[in-house]
């Protein structure tokens, strides 16, 4: 018997371990279920966090920085006040500069933008943000409604070029009672520190699912706002989009050679919230490990019971010529098979849920009635980011941790003396 076993080698050990998992169906299912639930939650939360981060990336890129943004040093220092008296690339021709920027390798598009504050009159809302943008150009590149992947318009149209028109957010309209065709009397301050009174006509109502924009923003044509604020041939900001986000560093380096030495060139991944969320990445993995540790405790208990119940069997294996190391391998491979099956079930279930969920973002307002992410740059919706990388990583993490946890009870089988075991 000993000689026949030796001819089997490692292949025989794996075969024995595989057959053992079918010896007690209920116990096997408990182990598989425990690991499966843990891995399911890892897939679920990994996809949820990845979706939230992707949402933040899109908000920062679409509404704030593009892939690279150029502003003056003075504006950067006082950006919370959105000052308009500090133009980007001051002294340079804006049209000529924009042409040169678009010639940089990897640049897909570049847009001038203005952001200012306005004091409203004759409305219940007293203050708002005033954005000057070329919406006809920008909506050909970006989806401004990140949930529905559209230009964001729910009614009417965006303001025409160089016109006394504007568009407002849906929540802005609800709070003020304004509608298409109404005028918004407002006052803003020009680059020369003079008060400018204006009453643009509302031509459109948008919903971006971005609380900062939907609730307090008036969008108008860039050229019209540029002239109103007496910026002449200048702009407050220049946002640049790359054909791939990975090229932002390369484009930022080229931009620094085109603009003034004291201008500030910022890449999208350097935005405060993006940096902060990336810093929390180790915390996410700690949470995942908590799920796995709890599940692995059940496997540890199960393998310990298996070793205890199979004392005579261990003695028999030892008497047939199996070494202690080989006996440990039998129990270890048995636990690995359980972990693989459980992790596979969790990945399949989690993959199905997140795969379907990525096509159906759930708005926070439908759950809580409020814009939950109003204080941070994120769309007002729950997104899942389905990824085979997440599925593979979750499966591997589940198998690895569960297998490591079962080493201790598996090693216990090596200390069982064959003679003593057979006497029981």
> What DSSP string describes 323-371?
-HHHHHHHHHHHHHHHHHHHHHHHHHHHHHHHHHHTTS-EEHHHHTSS-
pLDDT in tens, 217-268: 999 999 999 999 999 899 999 999 999 999 999 999 999 999 999 999 999 9
Q: Which of 62-66, 151-155, 169-173, 292-296 has the lowest mean pLDDT?
A: 292-296
| Mean pLDDT, rounded, of the chain | 85
The span from the CA of 88 to the CA of 207, in Å, is 29
Q: Is the pLDDT of residue 412 over 70?
A: no
pLDDT in tens, 118-127: 999 877 788 8
Q: Where are the domains of the chain?
A: 2-58+278-423, 73-262
Average pLDDT, stretch 44-67? 90
pTM of the model: 0.79
pLDDT in tens, 90-106: 999 999 999 999 999 99
Q: Is 262 exposed, middle or buried (0-12, 13-18, 19+ CB in 10 A)?
A: exposed
For the chain, how are helix, strand and coil distributed in percent, rounded to 5?
55, 15, 25
Q: Give the rounded percent of residues in the chain with a pLDDT score beyond 70.
A: 86
Sorted by sequence, the CB contacts under 8 Å of residue 232 that are 6+ apart come out as: 226
Average pLDDT, stretch 373-402? 82
Average pLDDT, stretch 327-354? 88
Return the pLDDT at 55: 86
pLDDT in tens, 354-369: 999 888 887 766 665 5
* Per-range mean pLDDT, top range of 59-68, 312-321, 397-406: 59-68
Q: How confident is the model at residue 8 (pLDDT cuts 50, 70, 90)?
A: low
How far is Cα of residue 281 from the mean position of the Cα atoms in its chain?
11
Return the pLDDT at 216: 87
The span from the CA of 279 to the CA of 142, in Å, is 28
Return the pLDDT at 3: 42
SS3 59: helix
Q: How confident is the model at residue 2 (pLDDT cuts 50, 70, 90)?
A: very low
Q: Is the pLDDT of residue 322 over 80?
A: no
Return the pLDDT at 5: 45
**Is 37 in contact with 394 (CB distance < 8 Å)?**
no
pLDDT in tens, 295-306: 677 667 766 676
Return the pLDDT at 418: 59
pLDDT in tens, 259-269: 999 999 999 99
204 bridge partner residues: 156, 167
Q: Is 366 exposed, middle or buried (0-12, 13-18, 19+ CB in 10 A)?
A: exposed
Angle value at C-alpha 156, between 153 and 161, nearest 5 degrees: 90
């Amino acid at each position: 018997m000993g000689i026949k076993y030796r001819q089997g080698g490692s292949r025989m050990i794996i075969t024995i371990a595989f057959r053992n998992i079918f010896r007690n169906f209920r116990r096997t299912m408990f182990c598989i279920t425990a690991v499966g639930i843990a891995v399911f939650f890892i897939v679920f939360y990994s996809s949820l966090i990845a979706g939230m981060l992707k949402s933040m990336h899109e908000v920062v890129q679409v509404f704030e920085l593009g892939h690279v943004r150029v502003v003056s040093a003075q504006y950067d220092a006082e950006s919370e006040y959105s000052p308009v008296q500090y133009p980007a690339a001051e002294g340079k021709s804006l049209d000529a500069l924009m042409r040169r920027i678009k010639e940089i390798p990897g640049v897909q598009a570049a847009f001038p933008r203005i952001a200012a504050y306005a004091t409203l009159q004759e409305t219940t809302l007293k203050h708002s943000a005033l954005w000057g943008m070329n919406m006809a150009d920008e909506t050909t590149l970006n989806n401004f409604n990140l949930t529905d992947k559209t230009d964001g318009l729910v009614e009417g149209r965006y303001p025409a070029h160089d016109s006394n028109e504007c568009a407002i957010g849906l929540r802005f309209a609800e709070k003020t009672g304004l509608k298409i065709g109404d005028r918004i009397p407002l006052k803003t301050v020009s680059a020369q520190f003079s008060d400018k009174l204006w009453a643009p006509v509302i031509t459109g109502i948008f919903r971006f699912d971005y609380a900062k924009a939907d609730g307090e923003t008036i969008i108008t044509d860039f050229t019209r706002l540029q002239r109103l604020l007496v910026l002449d041939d200048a702009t407050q900001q220049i946002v640049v989009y790359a054909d791939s986000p990975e090229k932002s560093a390369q484009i930022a380096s080229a931009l620094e050679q085109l603009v003034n030495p004291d201008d500030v060139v910022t890449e999208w991944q350097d935005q405060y919230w993006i940096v902060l969320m990336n810093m929390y990445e180790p915390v996410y993995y700690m949470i995942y490990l908590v799920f796995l540790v709890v599940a692995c405790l059940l496997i540890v208990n199960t393998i310990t019971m298996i070793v205890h119940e199979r004392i005579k069997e261990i003695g028999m294996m030892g008497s047939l010529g199996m070494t202690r190391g080989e006996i440990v391998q039998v129990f270890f491979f048995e636990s690995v098979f359980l972990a693989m099956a459980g992790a596979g079930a969790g990945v399949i279930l989690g993959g199905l849920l997140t795969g379907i969920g990525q096509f159906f973002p759930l708005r926070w307002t439908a759950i809580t009635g409020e814009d939950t992410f109003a204080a941070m740059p994120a769309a007002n919706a729950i997104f899942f980011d389905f990824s085979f990388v997440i599925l593979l990583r979750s499966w591997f993490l589940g198998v690895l941790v569960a297998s490591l946890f079962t080493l201790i009870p598996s090693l216990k089988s090596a200390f069982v003396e064959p003679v003593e075991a057979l006497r029981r």
